[in-house]
Amino acid sequence: MKPQLSQEQKLTWKMTQKLSQAIEILQYNGVELEEYLEKQVEENPLLEWKKGELPSSGSAYPVSGVPEKEQDLYAYIKDQLLDIPMEEHIKRAVVYGIDSLNEHGYFDVDVQEWGKEIQANQETIEQAIQIIQSLEPAGIGAWSLQESISLQLQRLGCDANVIDLVHNNLQLVAEQDVEAIAEIYGCTKDETQDAMELIQGCHPRPGLQVAPVEQDYIVPDAYIYKKEGTWEVELSIYNQPTIVIDESLVHLSEKNQEAQAFIHEKYKHAEWLQMAIEQRKKNVLSIIEEIVNKQESFFESGPMQVHALRLREIADEVNLHVSTVSRAIRNKYIQTPHGIYPIKFFFQQGVKMRTGQEASSYAIKQLIKESIQLEDARKPHSDQALSVRLKDEFGIYLSRRTVAKYRKELCIPSSTERKKKG
């Protein structure tokens, strides 16, 4: 028989389920990690771990740097733009597109209307769509259910045939018709089942995944303190759980093949969980340590000394992907000498000063706030006057429009409204 080349279609996905779970674990804060481990212990008889005690409801923590309003879907998505360099006309199209998403994360705007409203061409709109679809949560920025699920599967690195199954045979997935799908794509029933489970695991309304966190206390994920002149980082007990495998059960199943297979599977899972938790601990610790190095002036002198900092700077230093750093800091807080701050607070946009250095957006907002607090109520500062004041007194070049934007983010009325109230 002569050797020959042949093509074979298979339904596969490149990202393993374990890798997907490891990414999910990385995103958990300390309390969420504890809840996750409780579930794992219930499902795996080989697992044991030591639990910490949560503070009583309503414990008094000095919380700083936290927005007064709960973050919604649109603010969550726009926060991710801070680390994406883009031209101003592209950014304008992206922001308009984000504002045009409905609460489920789908576009609620016509492309032609989009371009007409901001006077942008088709190429600019297409670039904006690609940027929005690359953001979290995966699946946002779609016009249909099929497209949203496809975006989520592409993020997982799925095979093209899985994507095709979504676009052309999604009804078969809904009907659980394994045999028909296996016949169409020439794959085994196990491969078909894997693909179907992956598709069914996608969120049909990705925007709903971003919900305000409702809790009456905040548990810090790490503590920053000074010891013998050096800043130290200590993870909370919730972020460094002790996972133990009960070896005594391993040998009890040697005479029963079915029980032995079950224990073997649970043992492998327990080993993987130990490794995943340890890797999560290393990543979170290295990221926070590098933030402390970059933002030492904040820890020494307080929030007015926070510097401009981008995710990529930390990612490069700790040798991790930007998306990994973004996931690792999500919904996590640290206790500092100046109060509790969300980790994302330390990633600030920067504005160049006359000296060539960058001032953080937080520090600039505080200068604007202080200027308004000290103004004559009968003659409040206009946004243009505040812009001039920042330039003359602090060497910070900020347009009137940006001053107005920062003022609105501080929930401060315009000079006309302040004069009326005054």
Taking residues 16-31, what's their average pLDDT?
A: 73
Q: How confident is the model at residue 61 (pLDDT cuts 50, 70, 90)?
A: very low
Q: What is the β-pairing status of strands 333-336 and 358-360?
A: unpaired
What is the value of pTM for the model shown? 0.55
Whether residue 22 has pLDDT greater than 60: yes
Taking residues 55-67, what's their average pLDDT?
A: 43
Whether residue 303 has pLDDT greater than 90: no
The string of pLDDT tens digits covering residues 159-186 is 788 888 888 887 887 777 888 888 888 8
Whether residue 4 has pLDDT greater than 60: no
Give the containing element (helix H, strand E) for 364.
Answer: helix 361-373
Matching residue, tokens 């609460």: 103
CA distances from 25 to 18, 67, 330 (A): 10, 25, 11
Sorted by where each starts, the structural domains of the chain and their CATH numbers stand as 14-70+213-348 (no CATH), 72-208 (no CATH), 350-421 (1.10.10.60)
Burial, 77: exposed, middle or buried (Cβ in 10 Å; 0-12, 13-18, 19+)?
buried
Q: What is the β-pairing status of strands 222-227 and 230-235?
A: antiparallel
CB 120 within 8 A of CB 80: no
CA distances from 354 to 173, 384, 393 (A): 60, 18, 11
Query: By three-state DSSP, how is residue 384 classified?
Result: helix
Q: Secondary structure of the chain: what % helix, strand, coil (to 5)?
A: 55, 10, 35
What is the per-residue pLDDT for 213?
A: 46
Taking residues 56-67, what's their average pLDDT?
A: 43
Q: How confident is the model at residue 70 (pLDDT cuts 50, 70, 90)?
A: very low
Backbone region of residue 10 per phi and psi (left: phi > 0; alpha: psi in -120 to 50; beta: other values): beta
What is the per-residue pLDDT for 318?
A: 92
Q: Which of 204-208, 283-287, 393-397 has the lowest mean pLDDT?
A: 393-397
Q: Which of 25-34, 51-60, 78-87, 276-285 has the highest average model confidence (pLDDT)?
A: 276-285
Q: Which amino acid is it at 97? A: G
CB 166 within 8 A of CB 154: no
What is the per-residue pLDDT for 56?
A: 41
CA distances from 133 to 79, 81, 101, 107, 149 (A): 15, 12, 11, 11, 12
Whether residue 289 has pLDDT greater than 90: yes
Residue 167 contacts by C-beta under 8 Å, 6 or more apart in sequence?
146, 150
Output the six-digit token pair for 305. Answer: 């000394």
Q: How confident is the model at residue 51 (pLDDT cuts 50, 70, 90)?
A: low
| pLDDT more than 90, % of the chain | 11
Taking residues 221-240, what's their average pLDDT?
A: 89
Q: How confident is the model at residue 12 (pLDDT cuts 50, 70, 90)?
A: very low
What is the per-residue pLDDT for 255?
A: 64
Farthest-apart Cα atoms in the chain, separation: 97
β-bridge partners, 260: none
Q: Which of 104-108, 209-213, 223-227, 369-373 has the highest average model confidence (pLDDT)?
A: 223-227
What is the per-residue pLDDT for 253?
A: 55
Whether residue 66 has pLDDT greater than 50: no
